[in-house]
């Protein structure tokens, strides 16, 4: 699905460029400019955990979670040509949490939707013509929704805060439209509680580290 989304983004950019807008138009983001992006994104998670059952550490037990695909949105409000405030969110993808290490035989432990939301400050490099690279740092708050147990029972995943860092670039297609790419890394951990059997008689806890890296490409529009 991600490949199809990236292909659609590329086709849209080519169509916009074909409208006759100058390919290397210089756009200055003056104070009050609002730049909105929509991107197709892949989420790669560097997941691991320390797992405890009835208070005892499971030797070699951990978790893993395969990559996900989603659509992300963000809005930049420019305070001046170099500094903006960015609000970032996306459609919550569904994560599959599997046992890893000595717990790999357990298969899928649980599934859940997760939705990171980031408030960040961005620094934009100017003076490069149609190219507008930027870096950002901010605070992430991730919600975990629609949690379903599989091999575990009574799974609870609390929402969590984490630091977020982002680097990206806009390339002006016209004074209003741009092509956009970015990479974001979020330092994210949470404490998952569950039971190994129905009824909660055998409590299980995972001190989980998720640390997703989000890679996206899409289009931007200035208001």
Cβ proximity of 139 and 119 under 8 Å:
yes
Confidence of residue 29 (pLDDT cuts 50, 70, 90): confident
Confidence of residue 12 (pLDDT cuts 50, 70, 90): very low
Contacts of 209 (CB under 8 A, 6+ apart): 46, 47, 48, 49, 188, 189
pLDDT of residue 150: 87
CA distance 179 to 194: 44
pLDDT of residue 30: 86
What number is the average pLDDT over the span 179-208? Answer: 91
pLDDT of residue 8: 43
| Domains of the chain as residue ranges with CATH | 2-222 (2.40.160.20)
Nearest by Cα to 72 from 89, 85, 55: 89
CA distance 73 to 36: 7
Confidence of residue 200 (pLDDT cuts 50, 70, 90): confident
Given phi > 0 = left and psi -120 to 50 = alpha, else beta, which region is 132?
beta
Could you read off the pLDDT of 40-63 as tens digits, one per residue?
999 999 999 999 999 899 999 999
CA distance 52 to 42: 31
pLDDT of residue 27: 62
Could you read off the pLDDT of 132-175 as tens digits, one per residue?
999 999 999 999 999 998 888 889 999 999 999 999 999 999 99
What number is the average pLDDT over the span 18-23? Answer: 46
pTM: 0.84
Whether residue 176 has pLDDT greater than 80: yes
Confidence of residue 201 (pLDDT cuts 50, 70, 90): confident
Percentage of residues in the chain having pLDDT higher than 70? 87
């Amino acid at each position: 699905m991600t490949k199809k989304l990236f292909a659609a983004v590329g086709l849209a950019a080519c169509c916009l460029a074909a409208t006759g807008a100058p390919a290397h138009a210089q756009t200055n983001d003056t104070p009050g400019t609002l730049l909105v992006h929509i991107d197709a994104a892949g989420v790669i998670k560097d997941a691991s955990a320390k797992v405890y059952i009835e208070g005892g550490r499971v030797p070699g037990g951990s978790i893993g979670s395969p990559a996900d695909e989603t659509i992300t949105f963000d809005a930049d409000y420019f305070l001046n040509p170099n500094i903006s405030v960015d609000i970032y969110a996306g459609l919550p993808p569904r994560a599959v949490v599997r046992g890893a290490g000595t717990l790999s035989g357990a298969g899928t432990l649980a599934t859940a939707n997760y939705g990171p939301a980031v408030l960040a400050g961005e620094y934009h490099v100017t003076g490069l013509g149609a190219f507008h690279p930027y870096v950002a740092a901010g605070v992430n708050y991730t919600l975990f929704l629609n949690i379903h147990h599989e091999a575990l029972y009574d799974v609870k995943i609390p929402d969590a805060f984490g630091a977020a860092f982002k680097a990206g670039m806009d390339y002006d297609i016209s004074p209003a439209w741009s092509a956009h790419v970015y990479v974001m890394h979020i330092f994210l951990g949470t404490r998952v509680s569950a039971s190994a059997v129905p009824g909660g008689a055998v409590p299980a806890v995972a001190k989980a580290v998720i640390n997703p890296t989000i890679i996206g490409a899409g289009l931007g529009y200035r208001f």
